[in-house]
Amino acid sequence: MKLGYGNLKSLNFEQDQNGDYLESNKRWFTVGGGIACGYKFLIGEHFTIESLVGARYYTAPQQADTPEAEGENIGWYVTTRLSLHSQLKFGYQF
């Protein structure tokens, strides 16, 4: 089981008339958690392979009803907040 919190600053892709990027002080946070299970294989005496599969849920960055916020939320749901994940780790134990 895992819990998470993120306090992040948005990237601003708006430019002024000179082509310089505008500073953005826009911050947002996300909270969530998930659960995963897996198995660790020991090959020989030191080499390990670990596989994990799980699910997670994190809140979207904004809850405002503006078109810009809705676009950010859709982008969040199809990229960062994908609810299924898997990991494959290789390691060496000393």
Q: What is the pLDDT of residues 40-88, one digit of tens each?
A: 999 988 899 999 999 888 777 666 666 666 776 777 766 666 678 788 9
Rounded to whole angstroms, the Cα distance separating 74 from 68 reads 10
| Nearest residue to 82 (alpha-carbon basis) of 58, 62, 52 | 58
The residues, any chain, with a CB within 8 Å of residue 54's CB and separated by 6 or more, are: 34, 35, 36, 37, 84, 85, 86
Euclidean distance between CA atoms 58 and 34, whole angstroms: 9
Residue from 76, 84, 56 nearest 11 by CA: 76
Entry pTM? 0.49
